[in-house]
Structure 1
Amino acid sequence: MGTQEPAVRPLRADAARNREKLLQAATEVFAEHGTEGSLEEIARRAGVGVGTLYRHFPTRACLVEQVYRHSVDEVCAAAPRLLEQLDPFEALSTWVDGFVGYVSRKKGMASALREALGPESEAVFADVHERLENAAAMLLGAAQEAGMARNDAEPLDILRSVSGMCMAAAASHDPERTRRVLALILDGLRYGAPAGAESTRTDSLAAV
């Protein structure tokens, strides 16, 4: 099941901090240079020695997988937090914007994992996909229950449309177009929503 480190016992506080700093630094370096980015540069940005990096992540494949999972952890953890802070549709919109960032950061990681792990990589991708779909379902369900999103939309619709948009954006190198398309996707989720329909009926009656 991938190269995930065995959960033997919790890390000491200083070791846990170093691991977190290494994951954050690796996320930056991989986003800038792909998964072949310098391990020495990752250690330098994290403020630790290369030996510390290898103690936490014995191979590049292990580091790539953990960066991949760490990015997913952050995206999924944001869902309930946003629902506590914002109205349901604003929470969904903010999460989708964060998901766009996640898709752009994982540049090359999927292919690197497939190459390093072979068939075992499919278990990693299946787990990640399930977690992301559950997070999207939590947010979309709340927006639908509040009448802020159309009832026929499904979590997978969001993941696929945003992922496709990101791939097209990477090819076009046009961030402004990306923002416009994302706005269209979100408007599409609102179109036909019960609350929006009620607002439209009220406005129409007021105009008579």
Structure 2
Amino acid sequence: MPQRNDPRLRSDAQRNRERILEVALTELSRAADTPLSAIAKKAGVGQGTFYRNFPNRETLVLELYRHGVQQIADTASVLLETMEPDRALRAWMDHLARFAMTKAGLAEAIRQALSTSSGKAAKPGHTPVTEAADLLLRACEEAGTIRPGVTPDDFMLAIAGLWQLSPHDDWQPQATRLLDIVMDGLRAGAPGRRGLSGGSGRL
């Protein structure tokens, strides 16, 4: 019989947890009051497994938010490994737009979770996302592909329009235009641009 520390058990438990989060994201974005039993059923896990991972609705909703924040943060270093810094930054901005729409879709579920937590839970912060933005901005600055001195706070203010878009509308074309404008502004005055030929630094 497999022991409790068997890697296969840990792997199965992780898959169950990720599957619950995946289903919960879809269902709670559609309806904030979706029953937890329905989420467990669609995720293909038993009630015991579900509640071992997420004892209540508040725990599930806030973990969804934390999970999304960490995913978008982790994407930054992955993109930098495969792309030039400015291209990695622009690609990451698209990921951030999708996260903004996910957050908007979960807004009511998050509000309900916080209002019923009796002050015991707090909405997770954006620190990992801010740190990821800083990583990308510094890489771009070192490469000479954006104007020097841009801070993560500057960047987050510049893209704040993303949070004004509705996930229920055709938000992608408008987000693309907004992010292209921001990216053009970041590239304007970049010291490395003088050495580029044929527009090789553009998307």
TM-score (norm 1): 0.79
Question: Between the two proteins, what is the percent identity of the paired residues?
Answer: 34
Say if 1:31 and 1:104, in contact at 8 Å, map to a contact too.
Answer: no
Give the 3-state SS of the residue equivalent to 1:192 in structure 2.
Answer: coil
The answer for the alignment partner of 1:165 in structure 2 is: 161
1:80/1:159 Cα in 2 relative to 1: closer, same or farther (>3 Å)? same
Is 1:30 aligned with 2:8?
no
Looking at structure 1, the residues matched to 168 and 175 of structure 2 have their Cα atoms a distance apart, in angstroms, of: 9
TM-score (norm 2): 0.80
The answer for the alignment partner of 2:116 in structure 1 is: 116
Is 1:149 aligned with 2:146?
yes
Give the 3-state SS of the residue equivalent to 2:29 in structure 1.
Answer: helix
The answer for the alignment partner of 1:106 in structure 2 is: 103
Say if 1:30 and 1:105, in contact at 8 Å, map to a contact too.
Answer: no
Matches within 5 A, 1:42-121: 42-107=39-104, 108=107, 109-117=109-117, 119=119, 121=121
Say if 1:148 and 1:193, in contact at 8 Å, map to a contact too.
Answer: yes
**Which amino acid in the other structure matches residue 173 of structure 1?**
D
**Which amino acid in the other structure matches residue 24 of structure 1?**
E
1:118/1:130 Cα in 2 relative to 1: closer, same or farther (>3 Å)? farther
**Which amino acid in the other structure matches residue 23 of structure 1?**
L
Looking at structure 2, the residues matched to 151 and 49 of structure 1 have their Cα atoms a distance apart, in angstroms, of: 53
The answer for the alignment partner of 1:184 in structure 2 is: 181
Unaligned runs of 5+ residues in structure 1 are 1-8, 204-208
**Structure with more of its chain in helix, by fraction:** 1
Unaligned runs of 5+ residues in structure 2 are 199-203
Give the 3-state SS of the residue equivalent to 2:126 in structure 1.
Answer: helix
Looking at structure 1, the residues matched to 167 and 77 of structure 2 have their Cα atoms a distance apart, in angstroms, of: 32
Looking at structure 1, the residues matched to 138 and 110 of structure 2 have their Cα atoms a distance apart, in angstroms, of: 28
- The count of aligned residue pairs is 188
Is 1:195 aligned with 2:196?
no
